[in-house]
Copies of this chain bind each other. A is one copy, B any other.
Amino acid sequence: MPAALIARLETSDRLADAVKHHLRHMFRNSRAASANADPWREGDKATHVALLLSGFGYRCRQLANGRRQIVGYVVPGDLLTAGPLAAPVHDHSLRLTEASTYATLPDPELATLEPFLLRLLTRLVARELSISREWIANLGQREARARVAHLFCELSVRMRDIGQADGSSFPFPVTQQEIADSVGFTIVHVNRTLQALRRDGALAFDGRRAIVADFVRLTAIAGFDARYLD
């Protein structure tokens, strides 16, 4: 049940019942994955279209110099991959950091996909692209505090849009090392930056949840503008 995708799409426009019906049919096959599973690795053949139904994860790229970069997070409702519609081979690994479920489109249906569903897939890929470009700007032009704050602004909005945020907090099963690999700093510097954000009263943590103590302040620190998430 692609409820999260439907919820997010309906944050802007109401969907016709027929469309919802098609979506539910398209993503009716669901698979389970346990925490720390990798549905695919960089270089694997891209076989299916896949959509995250529940859980959490990130996309990860391994560099020749031995370092790795997290290039994006996936939350329920996100297109995990457009499969062979995008490229024959995956350019990154997908890691699910908690037990998750995702839907895959049966291969035979790929060839006969309704045009309007094909267009939806294009829009979903384009949204990933928009997010990626925001990350480029984040990595290239923001200093530590703003850069880290921006990551949490983004995730906060994305979680809220799918109804996964509980008040001002949301599930965040990610280590500081993984935050570091996302924003391009060392774990030591990320630790100090998170402490600064806590001192600012903008951000806090409770176990595996992130708490946006003051969203307005956090967005001000980050220079965050949510338009890229539409």
Q: Which residues of A contact B (CB under 8 A)?
A: 43, 59, 61, 63-65, 67-69, 71-72, 82, 85-89, 91-92, 113, 115, 118-119, 121-123, 125-130, 132-137, 139-142, 146, 181-184, 223-225, 227-228, 230
Stoichiometry, copies per complex: 2
Residues of B within 8 A of A72 (CB): 133, 136
Residues of B within 8 A of A68 (CB): 141
Is B136 a contact partner of A135 (Cβ separation < 8 A)? yes
Q: Which residue of chain B is the closest to A65 with respect to CB atoms?
A: B223
Is B126 a contact partner of A69 (Cβ separation < 8 A)? no
Of the candidates B64, B86, B115, B130, which one forms a contact with A87 in the assembled complex, judged by CB atoms under 8 Å apart?
Answer: B130
Of the candidates B91, B128, B135, which one forms a contact with A228 in the assembled complex, judged by CB atoms under 8 Å apart?
Answer: B91
Q: Would you give the shortest CB distance from A29 to chain B, in whole angstroms? A: 21
CA distance A133 to B87 in the complex (A): 14
Q: Which residue of chain B is the closest to A183 with respect to CB atoms?
A: B140
Is A140 a contact partner of B69 (Cβ separation < 8 A)? yes
